[in-house]
Amino acid sequence: MPELPEVQTIVNELKPLVRGRVLQEIKVLTPKMVVGEPKKVYGQKVLGLRRRAKLIIFDLSNGWHLLIHLKLTGQLFFLPPKAERTKTGEGQNRFTAMIFYFDDGSRLLFNDLRKFGYLKILDEKELLERLKKEDYGPEPLEPDFTLEKLQKMLAQRPNAQIKPLLMDQSFIAGIGNLYSDEILFFAGIHPKRKVNSLDDTEIEKIYQGIETILRQALKYKGSSIDTYRRPSGEKGTFEFHRKVYRRKGERCFVCGTPIASLKFGGRTAYYCPTCQK
């Protein structure tokens, strides 16, 4: 599933392409993925594009919003006027769930192999209620996410294991399996450690890891290990900089120990048994 760096990259790259454009139509090819009435937003200008956690939000001129979640395999591909495919060859196919048409002839394809993603068409009140219901935690790259704030948050969850806690969207928004592994490797913390076993120095390293890893992933436009692609169809390249995620059996870049894995429910954590204590 795309995490914060992937979703933010999509928002960053789509924003200059669709902001100011008028949404003329949404052609729905997979009705089960749409909640709300598309016609309510026809003829509306895109005022802005933003991210909350792993959600993409289009703000429209009539006060309504398009809320998109890509889930496991969703992709958004932008086609300029008269283009049938992106420069990497991505276009409409049997996995295209919906098509957004804009007034200049450009289109946005929402492709989804598994069809778990969704589009919700919401007014302002419905959007606020939806975000409140999701109960997302703070955004880790916002200025108000300080070390002191993280310390206080952790103090409220003393018995939690650190790996699943970092992935808990009600604790911190946007971090998933890949980046929690890389953050904990950066910090030298074993994924099964409980919060109450962490000292101040270790918590500070986790905080630094969140900032460093997420910003590095943004720099490289996310990770295209699975189905994630940028709106242009191009891949992100952070996967070439990962240290532990999906590297089981390969040598640690720091100490040479084979990378190990363990299960947290249905999720797999990857870590170095020597570097992470």
Residues annotated as catalytic are 2-3, 54, 267
Structure tokens at 89: 């060859």
| Strands 34-35, 118-122: pairing kind | parallel
Compute the distance between CA of residue 258 and CA of residue 255 in angstroms, rounded to an integer.
9
Compute the distance between CA of residue 101 and CA of residue 115 in angstroms, rounded to an integer.
20
SS3 10: helix
CB 114 within 8 A of CB 72: yes
Q: What is the DSSP letter of 115?
A: -
User: What's the Rg (C-alpha) of the chain?
Assistant: 20
Helix, strand, coil percent content, the chain, rounded in steps of 5: 30, 25, 45
**Starting from the edge strand earliest in sequence, which strands make up the sheet with 118-122, in order?**
34-35, 118-122, 65-69, 55-60, 44-52, 22-28, 96-102, 107-112, 74-79
Q: What is the DSSP letter of 235?
A: P
CB 67 within 8 A of CB 126: no
CB < 8 Å & 24+ apart, contacts of 246-253: 246/270
Q: Residue 195: what residue type?
A: V
